[in-house]
Every structure is written in structure tokens, then in C-alpha cells.
Amino acid sequence: MVASRQPSATSVQRDAWVEVDLGALEANVRVVRSWLPDSVELMAVVKSDAYGHGAAAIAPVLVAAGARWLGVASVDEGLQLRHAGIRTPILILSPCPFWAMSAAVEAGLDITVTAMGQVRDLLAAAERLGKAARVHIKVDSGMHRLGVDPACTAEVARAICGSELLTLVGFFSHLARPGHAGTTAWQNDVFRTALQSVVSLGINPKIIHLASGESARRFPDTHYDLVRVGLYLYGLEPRAVSAVVTPVMSLRARIVQLKEIDAGESVGYDLTWTANRRCRIASIPVGYGDGVDRGLSNRMTGLLMGTQVNQVGLISMDQMLFDVTDVPQAGIGDVITLLGCESGLPAAPDAAAGRAINMAAWATALETITYELACRLRVRLPRVYTRHSATTVKSGNR
């Protein structure tokens, strides 16, 4: 750990950390809620450690801000939240392996079924425990990834409701192109037809849900009883800088070494970058082992004392280098911001203004989506939780 002259939140574990702005998170919940009528509930999707933001720490904040449900991908993610003391309804969005169903039922997690065989396995687990299981039927409305065939949904619903140990709580599906009006309308029609086949039997699921963030924002007829929102809560859109929500995550690291090199000298593995002048090179302790894609080598920038500085050389597992020649006052311990803005406030929407670096720029460079990049940063970087200030609210070693 090195000292710095800059006022900044910091980690006590490492000289590189992810900063999570809880104030921005709460503001984003309010934005999402503004798209919905009061009768529609919000499920905050916190799978993959809340897209790299730290699920156990931010789930209570999301719930306090207005999320009535939480969504996870697996039994272990749900159990981690239960072990953290979170009692909010939690839906496991993917099918559970039969050997984990007892643990899910015991913890009071809501369980998704996508086939009749899973209903039988879940009933067996509930009978072993003598405890009722909460079930959601997922319908394949056209994405063809997971879900009960629409023609079979009535049969599956009848099987669930035929046992006193299974409670049909929810009925849902997943949109393949949630921002596309035509595809969404087509899937919505398939979904409604499957739902009607269940309702016609006198079976009425308590919670109907279809929309994710983009469809919740654009298509009110997909709202039903609940919407499932992930990326928007974290201030991100898949490929673009969002104009409606504020990025929650920043990534920062302290300079641990400064070295001057002459024109013609090269740096890093394979010597991929060569100085064209006498340069001052800063090393920071973050690399692809922390989730910063090696494909960003020689293509990304950082912010240092109000100046945009270029990353140079190949990004290695634990280190990367920046050319800080144009910031002669920079010293050991000073902070380079790789994502977000320098002040510790949420990233400015206009990243082109140079005041902030948004994850969408990384996604564009790598021809991928921000979902993937945010999730990668959950690997080993400590999290520091703030609220629009340099004062640390909570720090955790991830």
C-alpha cells in the first residue's frame, strides 16, 4: 500500500480496487421505477456477484431503494445472499440440479422449472424435507434456450398444482431481443397464449413476468406483474453510454513505480510499444488477472490529475503501464482511473468530454458487451463502497 496526495476512497487490501457508488445505484433504481406503474414490482438481478458490483453488499441497498425481488442464476448465489441475512424473495432464474434442490427449498428460494422432469425432482426434494417449494414455470416463447414448450405448459402447471408441497408462484419467459418491437411483440403473443392455456384450467400464477430492462423501458405491454432488471441498475447499457442511468462502478489503481525511458526503447512483454520520445512510464498493479481484457493493450486510456494518459505495452496478469510523460507532477501513490471519473463522482454521461471513461468504450474496442466486461471485474479486486464522496462507507476484500 502506497500513499497518495490525491483525496480518494481507497482499499486497505490492494493498490487497485473497484469503487461502487451506492448513491448512483439508488438513483438508478428510481429511474427504473419511473418507467413502471406502482402495481408493477421490480426484481433486481444480482447474478454473477451483481455483475461484478458485490451482490451481498448491494442487495440490501437495492431492496431498500424499491426492489421487491432479487434474481440470481444458481442455487449457490441464492444461498450466499441468504447466508448474508437477506430474506427478500429470491428467484433462481435457471434450472436447479436435482442434487441442489433440497438446499434451495430449505433456504426458501424460488425455483425455476423448465421441464416436467424437474417438477418430479422438486417434488421429491420437498417430500424429503416435508417443506413446500415455491415454483416458477419458465416458458420457451421463442428464444429456444431454456423453457417449457408452450404446448406443454398446461400439463406442467397441472402437475405442480396437483401437489400440496409445490406452490406455483410465477410464470415467466425471456426475451431474445428486448429492444426490438417486432420480436418482442411476437414473443409476447406466444407467452400470452401459453399463459391462457394455464389460466383456462383455473390455475392463476401469482406473479407474471416477461420484461427485462430494455423492454421494461420501451414496451409497457410487457410489464405484467413484475420486471427483471439488471444492467440498467448498474448504470450500463450493452454497447452505448447510457443517457438515462449513471454508471455505478469505477476502477482505480495507484502508481507503484515510475521509470524514465529513452526514445527507441520498448516496454512490456513482447515489446509491443516503443517510445518516440523520452518518456516517463508508470506501473499500476492491475491486469488481466483482475478482469481487464488483454485485448485492450495499447488501446485504452486512463485519467491522471485531469489528463488523459495512454496505456502502453501488453497488459500482463498483474500489471499494466501508462505513459505519464505529460503529467510531470505525478508521483508514486497517485491514482490512475481506468473506469469512471477522477473525482469519485459517478461517470459523466458525456464520456467524449474526457471527464470520464465509460465501460462502453471498452466494449466497442473489444466488439463485445458491457455485461461481459463488468462480470469479469469480480474476480479478485476489492470493492470500496461510497456515496458520491471520497469517504469510504464500506470496504470488502473480494
Question: Which active-site residues does the annotation give?
Answer: 47, 269
Identify the residue whose cell numbers are 427449498. Answer: 105
